[in-house]
Amino acid sequence: MKTIFLLRHAKSSWDDPVERDFDRPLNTRGGRAAETIGRYLREQSLAFDSVVASPAVRVIETLDGVESGAGRRLGATFDKRVYMASAPTLLDIVHETDADAETLLLVGHNPGLEDLIFLLTPAGSGTLRKEVDIKYPTATLAEMRFDVERWEDIDEATGELVRFIRPRDLDPTLGPDGT
Q: Read off the CATH number of the domain in which 98 is found.
A: 3.40.50.1240
Is residue 119 classed as helix, strand or coil in its secondary structure? helix
* pLDDT value for 126: 85
- Is 106 contained in some domain? yes
Range of the domain at 22: 2-173
The DSSP element (H or E) to which 37 belongs, if any, is helix 28-43
- Is 178 contained in some domain? no
- Convert the pLDDT of each residue in 88-98 to its tens digit: 999 999 999 99
Order of all β-strands in the sheet with 2-8 = 77-78, 50-53, 103-108, 2-8, 141-146, 159-165
Alpha carbons 111 and 80: distance in angstroms, whole number: 16
- Is 107 contained in some domain? yes
Alpha carbons 102 and 107: distance in angstroms, whole number: 17
Alpha carbons 51 and 175: distance in angstroms, whole number: 27
- Is 179 contained in some domain? no
Alpha carbons 112 and 77: distance in angstroms, whole number: 18
- Is 41 contained in some domain? yes
- Convert the pLDDT of each residue in 109-160 to its tens digit: 999 999 999 999 999 888 999 999 999 999 999 999 999 999 999 999 999 9
Task: Judge contact between 103 and 47, C-beta under 8 A.
Answer: yes
- pTM (two decimals): 0.95
Count how many domains the chain has. Answer: 1
